[in-house]
Amino acid sequence: MRRVVCRFDDEADFLRQVKTSRSTGELQFLAEFSLEAGEDIRVTTLVSRLREQCDLRMQVVDSRPLAVDGTGGTRLFRHRARVAPEDAPWLVMFAKKMTMLHRVDAAA
């Protein structure tokens, strides 16, 4: 099982890339490597500004080439992964925590 580390600058950046409901969740991310649809991966999400992280088991829903970055020609892929049912509550709670911290920061 591959490990993927997704680093987000702040909670707003994280919240733009995650979709959750009560029992499911999906995460979108860019990478310089391709993953196969259906592949099981372990994803660590890091929110740099808050120094918070969450480790999740996920499955790749789709992966597609997106662009070539810069003059060096690095190919980027957009991946969409769905959280494993047993880890869904952790993603939902992490997203709620990031939402609350984002609101507190905006109100301060």
Instruction: Assign 59 to helix, strand or coil.
Output: strand
pLDDT given for residue 71 in this prediction: 67
45-92: pLDDT as tens digits: 999 988 999 999 999 999 998 877 666 677 889 999 999 999 999 999
Half-sphere exposure of 5 (CA within 13 A, CB side): 6
- Angle (CA) 86-47-100 rounded to 5° is 75
Q: Is the full-model pTM beyond 0.75?
A: yes
- How far is C-alpha 32 from the chain's CA centre? 15
CATH of domain 2-107: 2.40.10.220
Query: N- to C-terminal Cα distance for the chain?
Result: 41
14-57: pLDDT as tens digits: 999 999 887 789 999 989 899 999 999 999 999 998 899 999 99
Instruction: Assign 66 to helix, strand or coil.
Output: strand
pLDDT given for residue 20 in this prediction: 85
pLDDT given for residue 40 in this prediction: 97
- The two tokens of residue 37 are 């649809």
pLDDT given for residue 94 in this prediction: 94
E runs forming strands in the chain: 2-8, 18-20, 25-31, 40-47, 52-69, 74-83
